[in-house]
Amino acid sequence: MEKIWGQACAKLEKTVGPNNFNHWIKPLQLTALEDGVASFASPTRFISDWVNRHFADDILVELSRQGSPVERLRFDVGGKRPAAAANAASADSAPARPAARARTGGSRPDLGAPLDPRFTFGNFVVGKPNELAHAAARRVAEGGPVGFNPLFLYGGVGLGKTHLMHAIAHDYQSRHPAAEVLYLSAEQFMYRFVQALRESTIMDFKGMFRNVNMLMVDDVQFIAGKDSTQEEFFHTFNALVDQGKQIVISADRAPAEIKGLEERIKSRLSCGLIVDLHPTTYELRLGILQSKTEAFRAQHPDLEMGPGVLEFLAHRITTNVRVLEGALQRLFAHASLLRREITLDVAQECLADILRTNDRKISIDDIQRKVAEHYNIRLADMMGPKRARTVARPRQIAMYLSKQLTSRSLPEIGRRFGGRDHTTIMHGVRKIEELAAADHALAEDIALLKRLLEA
Ligand SMILES: Nc1ncnc2c1ncn2[C@@H]1O[C@H](COP(=O)(O)OP(=O)(O)OP(=O)(O)O)[C@@H](O)[C@H]1O
């Protein structure tokens, strides 16, 4: 067993990186490998929770590669040896996670994917960018007469589509315990369909899908270009709509924008209500950070978060909520291991890599648009020849900001301003530097534009 674990550790160190390995996996001691269950002694519950959440799949894979097929991990906290490895988690052990991605759940464990118990309406922070999607999701979850069918939720990566779908399922299920809700990804739909074809059980497949009360299909863009799966999806969809059953669909873009999706499906998907989750705003990000910090503090009252840290994160991490959550989790782990307050300096150091990749790339195009809008001139005047001061000055400001906020060279900037020479750009940049040094109002104007562009 020691040899297997030693070899698995050597691989894991590479897969998860030395830092993660030393922090989280090294402190674990493998105590038993029996009946497909690997049992570990863990020094703290925090470590076992963390490993279970973030590295369980890696560990399962590595142990299996070492010739020890494992389906489950269990953890015993405080160095106690597990009593019987196959038992359910004991009171002081972290709940073990089922094997890798074998997903079952909802009220159709044979067909669907599991619902994440954390993805509830109660845990969903509502703000301007998601209020419509949230309201529609709430309405569908009530399960009254089907108003809009399907509800089609779309938006960029990590903006809460899956969270909202699971919340609908939880809520609907609690109001209608006898109803059958089927939640699955479009990929799983295809997998089940192909399996049914292979095993000649297509009639069972059709029957099972058509007997649910609510069908939820996540990431529907996946079936684009997959003709027979689309065909089957279309029939399933129609059969359920005809029976007045609710359908909820999510995708990364609006139906009309999904390339390779049949027109008749696009038009079917567009029949109900289409709502998008907009990119987050600063206020929503801050709300989410505050809510997650409060939830964490409820379990770890000694967490000390310094002033301005959450505001700093909300300002700097603008990509998606998943990245924001990851950053916060890392800070929690840091605080809990080092028992130190999370100050702004600690946050900056601890999240240096995330912050670097989140530095927004501002384009010359963004700058020209924003400046033109601000000074109420036409965008074309940024490139055009007009020399009137009302046009030439904003153009020079845009040149100055392009030099300051992008990594473009002067000749490149010149090309983007209607093919001007690099010396013209240099002149413009210097002119604005001089003017702003003497003119307080202009300096303030430029600072405001910078803030708008960096937001
Ligand atoms: N408004 C919100 N309030 C609280 N948590 C949120 C919110 N929006 C997103 N999250 C969290 O962000 C993470 C990513 O959300 P989710 O998985 O729902 O995104 P998604 O839109 O389905 O992304 P993908 O396109 O990658 O499937 C989840 O942990 C979710 O709980």
Lowest pLDDT segment from 12-16, 99-103, 105-109: 99-103
Give a yes or no: residue 110 inside a domain: no
Cα 62 to middle of ligand 1, angstroms = 29
415-442 burial, b at 16+ Cβ within 10 Å, e below that, comes to: bbbeebeeebbeebbebbeebbeeeeee
Q: What is the pLDDT of residues 139-150, one digit of tens each?
A: 999 988 777 899
Same domain, 172 and 265: yes
Q: Which two tokens stand for residue 180?
A: 């059958």
Q: What is the mean pLDDT of residues 96-102?
A: 31
In three-state secondary structure terms, 194 is helix
In 3D, which of 415, 421, 410 has the Cα closest to residue 383? Answer: 415
Cα 161 to middle of ligand 1, angstroms = 6
Same domain, 175 and 296: no
CATH number, position 192? 3.40.50.300
What pLDDT, on the 0 to 100 scale, is given for residue 141? Answer: 95
Q: Examine the fold and report which residue of 277, 293, 312 is the final residue of a domain before the chain moves on.
A: 277
Q: What is the pLDDT of residues 294-326, one digit of tens each?
A: 999 988 888 889 889 999 999 888 878 998 999
Binding site membership of 157 for ligand 1 (Cβ less than 6 Å): yes
Cβ of 190: how many Cβ atoms within 10 Å? 19
Give a yes or no: residue 327 inside a domain: yes
Give a yes or no: residue 88 inside a domain: no
Give a yes or no: residue 93 inside a domain: no
H-helix or E-strand containing 246?
A: strand 246-251
Same domain, 334 and 387: no
Binding site membership of 252 for ligand 1 (Cβ less than 6 Å): yes
Round to whole Å and give the CA distance between 74 and 40. 6
Cα 273 to middle of ligand 1, angstroms = 20
Q: Judge whether residue 430 has pLDDT over 50.
A: yes
CATH number, position 329? 1.10.8.60
Binding site membership of 124 for ligand 1 (Cβ less than 6 Å): yes
Q: Judge whether residue 106 has pLDDT over 70.
A: no
Residue 123 CA: nearest ligand 1 atom is 4
What pLDDT, on the 0 to 100 scale, is given for residue 151? Answer: 96
Residue 116 CA: nearest ligand 1 atom is 31
30 DSSP β-pair partners: 40
Q: What is the mean pLDDT of residues 261-269?
A: 92
Binding site membership of 382 for ligand 1 (Cβ less than 6 Å): no
186 or 318: which leads in pLDDT:
186
Same domain, 311 and 447: no
What pLDDT, on the 0 to 100 scale, is given for residue 54? Answer: 78
Q: How confident is the prediction for the chain on average, in pLDDT? A: 85
Residues above pLDDT 90, as percent of the chain: 45
Binding site membership of 322 for ligand 1 (Cβ less than 6 Å): yes
Cα 157 to middle of ligand 1, angstroms = 8
304 or 19: which leads in pLDDT:
304
What pLDDT, on the 0 to 100 scale, is given for residue 111? Answer: 64
CATH number, position 421? 1.10.1750.10
Ligand 1 test: best mutation among 123, 159, 320, most atoms within 8 Å of CB? 159
Please identify which residue in the block is written with the tokens 């600690």: 346
Dihedral, CA atoms, 398, 404, 408, 413, nearest 10 degrees?
20
Q: Hey, whose CA ends up nearest to atom 10 of ligand 1?
A: 160
Same domain, 73 and 197: no
Q: In what order do the strands lie in the sheet with 246-251?
A: 181-185, 214-218, 246-251, 151-155, 273-277
Ligand 1 test: best mutation among 164, 319, 322, most atoms within 8 Å of CB? 322
Q: How far is CA 2 from the centre of its chain?
A: 37
Q: Judge whether residue 358 has pLDDT over 70.
A: no
Q: CA-CA distances (angstroms) from residue 95 to 79, 109, 115, 239, 400?
A: 16, 20, 16, 40, 57
Q: Where does the pLDDT of residue 159 fall: very low under 50, low under 70, confident under 90, or very high at 90 and above?
A: very high
Q: Is 161 annotated as a binding residue?
A: yes
Binding site membership of 163 for ligand 1 (Cβ less than 6 Å): yes
Q: Where does the pLDDT of residue 93 fall: very low under 50, low under 70, confident under 90, or very high at 90 and above?
A: very low
Residue 277 CA: nearest ligand 1 atom is 21
Q: Examine the fold and report which residue of 77, 106, 139 is the final residue of a domain before the chain moves on.
A: 77
CATH number, position 64? 3.30.300.180
Lowest pLDDT segment from 13-27, 272-286, 314-328: 13-27
Q: Is 160 annotated as a binding residue?
A: yes
182 DSSP β-pair partners: 215
Binding site membership of 130 for ligand 1 (Cβ less than 6 Å): yes
Give a yes or no: residue 123 inside a domain: no
Ligand 1 test: best mutation among 124, 162, 165, 184, most atoms within 8 Å of CB? 162
Residue 157 CA: nearest ligand 1 atom is 25
Cα 321 to middle of ligand 1, angstroms = 6
Torsion angles phi and psi, residue 258, rounded to 5: -85, 110
Binding site membership of 288 for ligand 1 (Cβ less than 6 Å): yes
Q: What is the mean pLDDT of residues 418-444?
A: 92
What pLDDT, on the 0 to 100 scale, is given for residue 82? Answer: 39
Strands 72-77 and 151-155: unpaired
What pLDDT, on the 0 to 100 scale, is given for residue 97? Answer: 34
Same domain, 339 and 441: no
Instruction: Please report the DSSP string for 336-403 in residue order.
Output: HHHT--B-HHHHHHHTHHHHHHHS----HHHHHHHHHHHHT--THHHHS----HHHHHHHHHHHHHHH
Round to whole Å and give the CA distance between 351 and 252. 28
Same domain, 407 and 348: no
Q: What is the pLDDT of residues 192-250, one digit of tens each?
A: 888 888 888 888 888 888 889 999 999 999 999 888 899 999 999 999 999 989 999 99
Give a yes or no: residue 339 inside a domain: yes
Q: What is the mean pLDDT of residues 5-21?
A: 86
Same domain, 311 and 421: no
Same domain, 234 and 303: no
Q: Is 162 annotated as a binding residue?
A: yes
What pLDDT, on the 0 to 100 scale, is given for residue 96? Answer: 36
Total structural domains within the chain: 4
Cα 159 to middle of ligand 1, angstroms = 5
Residue 250 CA: nearest ligand 1 atom is 22
Give a yes or no: residue 84 inside a domain: no
In 3D, which of 97, 62, 75, 64 has the Cα closest to residue 28? Answer: 75
Same domain, 161 and 267: yes
Q: Examine the fold and report which residue of 329, 358, 387 is the final residue of a domain before the chain moves on.
A: 358
Same domain, 302 and 375: no
Q: Which two tokens stand for residue 143?
A: 């399960």
Q: What is the pLDDT of residues 230-243, one digit of tens each?
A: 999 999 999 999 99
Q: Where does the pLDDT of residue 83 fall: very low under 50, low under 70, confident under 90, or very high at 90 and above?
A: very low
Cβ of 270: how many Cβ atoms within 10 Å? 14
Same domain, 257 and 301: no
Domain membership of residue 65 as a residue range: 2-77
Residues above pLDDT 70, as percent of the chain: 91
Give a yes or no: residue 103 inside a domain: no
